[in-house]
Amino acid sequence: MSAADTTTPAKLPPATRHTPPSPPPGPDAPPGRRTSKATAAIPWALLAPCLLILALVLGYPLVRLVTLSFQKFGQSQLWGFQPAESVGFDNFGKVLGDSEFWDVVVRTIVFAVGSVVLTMVGGMLIALLLQRVSGWMKTLINIVLVAGWGMPIIVATTVFKWLFDSDYGIVNALLSRLPGVDLIGHNWFASGPQGLAVIMLLVVWGAVPFVVITLGAGLTQVPKELEEAARLDGAGAWGVFRYVTLPILKPIIVMLTTLSVIWDMGVFPQVFVMRNGHPEAEFQLLTTYSYDRAFAVNDYAQGSAIALLTVVLLLGVVAVYMRQMLKIGDVE
């Protein structure tokens, strides 16, 4: 139930929360209310180590990412033979003027959208199914879901590589047992779209459990009376889902969707390992493309520019996610 405990208030606006929703920010120290200088300093003292570490390990590299993308930075700058000089928007100009970059952008978006849609729809269907199966079946499914969720990504990728192996993979063998199908020796990674479809399957397999479990926790909070009332008013199964369940789950769905977009745009090890560390041109996503530019072509500046563009591309989604989080996380 712990899953439900903290997530429910989000889905049920009328539910009472332990704290009143967002009083205006300002000095309002809970006990005592004495805002002496010393008291005001305590939170900052507690925060100091954290902020210091984050500034060093995250702040600095983030700034460097931005400055790098406006510099010329290759091998000779890396070894210090030449100083890194500023080149203005040259890197961006080159990247944006390269048709390969736009191919990669489109491929990344198609891949991410496909993964997110499959994850969310699949997750929702399984969550709804779990409400309808017997208790023991629910337990069985939960066990495999959590096991899949807990699998290290790198292990899951390795396993999928084996499942889809061209010569000895079980998938080819099983599919070939179907009448009229002969996939013996079929290489799924000979073509980009097919290979990426396999990788998408891997991503979805790893992502669905989180969605099922979170949505499942949400579904238990949908008031039975509301569903019953809708049914009495003549709503069918779809109507109940569309007009009762879905609106109540909306905040959770928005959050899961945005999170999935962020995760699926950031897919890296899956592609990297599946293609043995050297993804072919038609397998490149923004992440591997940026990596490739930096560490294979040794153009760190262009790599950074691509990474930065990826982050910018994600900003809109992140903004939606953050708004939702701040709304339901009652960050008053």
Partner 1 sequence: MTSMSTATLSGPRKPKLGWNLLGLLVFLTAGFPVYWMLNTAFKPAKDAIDPDPSLLPTGFTLANFRRALNIADFWGPVGRSLIVSLTVVVIGIVVGMLAALAISRFAFRGRKIVIVGILAVQMVPLVAMIIPVFLLLNDLGQYDRLTGLIITYLTFILPFTVWTLRGFIVNIPKELEEAAMVDGCSRTTAFLRVVFPLLAPGLVATSVYGFIQAWNEYLYALMLMSQKNQTATVWLGNFTTKHGTEYAPMMAGSTMMAVPIVVLFLLVQRKMAAGLTAGAVKG
Q: Which residues 28-87 are close enough to bind partner 1 by CB under 8 A?
A: 28-31, 40, 42-44, 46-47, 49-51, 53-54, 56-58, 60-62, 64-65, 68, 78
For residues 33 and 242, give the distance between their C-alpha atoms in angstroms, rounded to a whole number. Answer: 48
Q: Does 162 bind partner 1 (CB under 8 A)?
A: yes
CB contact burial 66-93 (16+ within 10 A = b; e otherwise): eebbbbbbbeebeeeeeebeebeebbbe
Using CB under 8 A as the binding rule, whether residue 291 contacts partner 1 is answered as yes
> For residues 329 and 54, what is the distance between their CA atoms, to the nearest angstrom?
22
241 scored as a contact of partner 1 (CB under 8 A): no
In the complex with partner 1, the residue whose CB is nearer, 61 or 193, is 61
74, two tokens: 């290759």
| Nearest CA-CA partner of 271 in 328, 197, 205, 325 | 197
Burial tier of 266 (Cβ tally within 10 Å: 0-12, 13-18, 19+): middle
Q: For the segment 292-311, give every residue that binds partner 1 (CB under 8 A).
A: 294-295, 300, 303-304, 307-308, 310-311
Applying CB under 8 A, the span of 88-96, 104-112, 142-150, 188-196 interacting with partner 1 comes to 142-150
Distance CA 258, CA 219 (A): 19
Q: Which stretch binds partner 1 (CB under 8 A): 91-99, 188-196, 241-249, 314-322?
A: 314-322
Q: Does 211 bind partner 1 (CB under 8 A)?
A: no
Q: Which of 260, 214, 290, 302 is nearest to 111 (CA)?
A: 260
Judged by CB under 8 A, the number of residues near partner 1 is 118
- Nearest approach in angstroms of CB 123 to partner 1 is 11
For partner 1, the closer of residues 18 and 180 by Cβ is: 18
Minimum distance of partner 1 from residue 139's CB (angstroms) = 10
- Candidate list 34, 134, 178, 180; residue touching partner 1; CB under 8 A: 134
